[in-house]
Structure formats: C-alpha cells, structure tokens
Structure 1
C-alpha cells in the first residue's frame, strides 16, 4: 500500500487544468490507495495520477501546485491544508522507500574516505618511519649515533678513554658478539646502566666494569641490551620520538634537528630499560657461549628473582676460554681513571 491508512478516505476540492491552454475547472480530488483521483462534481473520473510520480511544483507555497510527473501538461491546484499534508506525507514515505543509488555511492565514498584517513593517520606514519629507518645509509646512522652520544656526554660526562681501555672494549665486544660487534662506550655517570644508539653503538655505565670481578656480568648486560636493540631498532625509536615531520625531513634532506637528538639523549640516560624475555636471553647466552649465572646474581644477589636464569644456565658443566685475560680486565676496570 502506498497511501497512509489515515488518509485513504480523504477528499477535497481543487482546480484542475488538463492542458496549458485549457480553462481551469473545479474538481473533486480523492486520495486513493496508490493514486490521486481527479473527478467531476458528478463523480466522473477525469484523471488518475500515480502517487509515486506526483510532483509538487511550488514547495512551501500556497495554494499548492501539483503535476502527475515532471513533464505532464496537467496541473492541479489545492488549498486544503489536510489534503496537502496528506499528499506530502505520502510522497515523503514513497521517497524514503525509493532506492537511492546516489546515496549508496555517497556512503561508499564516505567509508572509503574514512578508511583512507585512518590509513594515513594510523598506518602511514609508522610505515614512513620504518621505511626511513631501514633506508638510511649506514654512514648516516653512525653520524646520528655520534651526535646523540655527544648529547649524552654533555649530560653524563665525556666517555671514559683511559690507558688501554678503549682498545680492550673493542676486544671484549668482539669476544661477546663476534663479527657484528657494536662499539662500546663507557660513560662516567648515567641513571641507566646500558643504552643502544644508531650506528651500532652501545653505551654502558662505568659501574658495569668497576663493580664486578667477572667480565661475564658485563657480557650479560650487553646481551640483554642487544635483545632490546633487536626488539626496537634504535633509529626507529628515535624517529618515533621525533615525529612525522622530522622523519619526512630526514628522508628528503638527510638532516634532523639537533633538538630531537638532545632530547633523545636525555631520555636514553633516564628511561629504565625494557624487560627482556628470559628464554630469549638464555638463547643469547648460549649463542655467545657465556654463563648466565654471573649476570643473574649481579641483578639479584639472593638469586630468588632470577632463578630461571640460574637454573637455565646454558653453560653449566661446560668450559670456554675467558672473555678477557685478568690483566686486560683490570685495565678495562681502570678505563675511567685516565
């Protein structure tokens, strides 16, 4: 049914014109089930208009003018408010039920636009940062790492470089990591014991070489920091902190503002290291052929909170050559004394 039930018996009078040249005549207008019926006063039907096709020619004005469709010559003039309201309500219901391909396209366009915005906001920045971090030449990463190190030195003191200590750190790093050994820098004063920088640089607090008798303790802290470096590339971490604008500038010009590097340096010195999974750390100890027990007891002298590192020691019952000779270890312990 097309007509609303409350209006199905509604009738009124109006003025009807069959053609533009015809004289208007008074007629009876009845709201039918799916039609608007125009009759003479003697109830002789003159015309039937399909309600879905009825067009109002002067919206909002009175008397209301209607036509059976957009191109018809017939014209109906109505002044009865109830009949006008009825026709308008029926036309509104019909319009809502009518398929609207344009609206579907509008909705699809809106959804596509929303998806595009979400991709740009949520995915694109991360993708751009990852791409920039991976595409940056090694020389550029090294330069940025050195600039961050300079910022750390302004806050924590110049890197220790006493006697033969610098050369021994290279030897020690190679013993722990092999051919991909990072450059190890000892700082005299840091809030955190380890940090990693772009350019394959690891920074350690002097306490790791001065406060322990076993070089395996230092090796354990370095292996744990290496796991953190693998979990989050140091260059990517810097770009995530600096933001999209700094990333875009670095990608297009190869430059990054020093303020971002100084802020990153301060954050590295003060941010507690992220935890690492015990099973992954034990795998790194096994790969390096280093006992995990000295590192575990350095973290907790009682061993209660690091029992997995102690019991899972991959080198238990196995021997390997010392990481450093006693003489070199003593020289490394004095690296900050020169």
Structure 2
C-alpha cells in the first residue's frame, strides 16, 4: 500500500468514534479496540474517517473554531494556545459529523483493499450507505487480506489496556 503519511491516534473516551486533525491525523476511539475481536472494524473506521477528511478540511475547521485572533497568531507564529485548542476540540465534539457519500466510501475501501462488511455492520452510516458497502465488498466470498496478525492485534489491545 502507498505511504499516505497517515497517523492513527487511539483516544480514550472520544464521543464521536472518529475524528481528524490537520496533518493527516485520524483519531479513533479506544472502544474500537476494546470491544472488537479483530482489527477489521478499527481499520474500517480509519478508512471512513480518512474519506471524510478528504471532504472536510481539518485546518479550515481549526481556523474557524479558534477565531480570527488565534488563527492569525497561528499563521504568523505557528503557535496556538491551549485555550484555542480546547475551543476547537469542543466544537469538533459538538459539530454534526459530515456525511460521506457512498461512492467516496466505497472507493476508499476499494483503494485500501480492506473488507467493508465489518465496518458496515458496526457503523452509524445510513442503511443506503451500508447496503452499497455490503454489495460492493469484494471480500464477501473471498479471503480478505490480513490487516494485523492475531499476535499484533492482541499486542495492540494489551497496550491500550495498560494506558
């Protein structure tokens, strides 16, 4: 797979399951690791959020949320205050999530070569989007690629449990 420069960050108690920040940072709720037996659902949520990030600029959201003064300060100095970041976080949590078109979501799963079924069965997408994902999942009848070995998945779960 091509290097996208994507960074996955596991966050405890993230109310929206996923989110994204400037710099290709995808936030994933720790519950996606704690609750599921395989990494397929976690990978699906990461892919869906990456597709969402392609439609919504995290930097534009940040600049809008922090206000003119903090946005100008950030652009001039590269620094942003903790207060401004907290305001942005509060807005991210309360803002309605951007819907992803089913075509963009299907394309994201096809590009990543990850099975869509686990995500479709464990997401809050509309029934129409879920149906499209399920009908276009190339791995329904075949063997899906391994996302993480069982040992690596258990190791990741153990790391998350210890933090």
* TM tier, smaller: 0.7 to 0.9
Return 5+ residue gaps in structure 1 as ranges.
1-176
- 1:336 corresponds to 2:160: yes
Q: Are the equivalent residues in 2 in contact too, given 1:286–1:315 (CA < 8 A)?
A: no
Q: Which residue of 2 is the match for residue 189 of structure 1?
A: 13
Is 2:65–2:87's contact at 8 Å kept on the other side of the alignment? Answer: no
CA distance in 2, matches of 1:329, 1:284: 23
Query: Cα distance, 1:318 vs. partner?
Result: 4.0
Where do residues 30-41 of structure 1 align in structure 2 (5 Å cutoff)?
none
Does the 8 A contact of 2:117 with 2:133 survive in 1? yes
CA distance in 2, matches of 1:271, 1:191: 11
User: TM-score normalized by structure 1?
Assistant: 0.43
Higher strand residue share:
1
- 1:99-138 aligned at under 5 Å gives the runs none
Q: Which has the higher Rg, Structure 1 or Structure 2?
A: 1
CA distance in 2, matches of 1:178, 1:329: 22
Q: Separation in 1 of the partners of 2:148 and 2:119?
A: 16
CA distance in 2, matches of 1:276, 1:200: 17
2:74 maps to 1:247: no
Q: Which secondary structure state, in structure 1, belongs to the residue aligned with residue 61 of structure 2? A: helix
TM value normalised by structure 2: 0.85
- Count the aligned residue pairs: 160
1:313 offset after TM fit, Å? 1.2
The equivalent residue for 1:234 is 58
1:79 match: none
Q: How far off is 1:295 after superposition?
A: 0.7
More displaced stretch, 314-323 vs 325-334:
314-323
Note the residue ranges of structure 2 that are not aligned, 5 or more in a row.
none
What is the match of residue 156 of structure 1? Answer: none
Q: Whole-Å Cα distance in 1 between the matches of residues 76 and 96 of structure 2?
A: 33
TM-align CA RMSD = 2.2
Contact 2:65–2:91 under 8 Å retained in 1: no
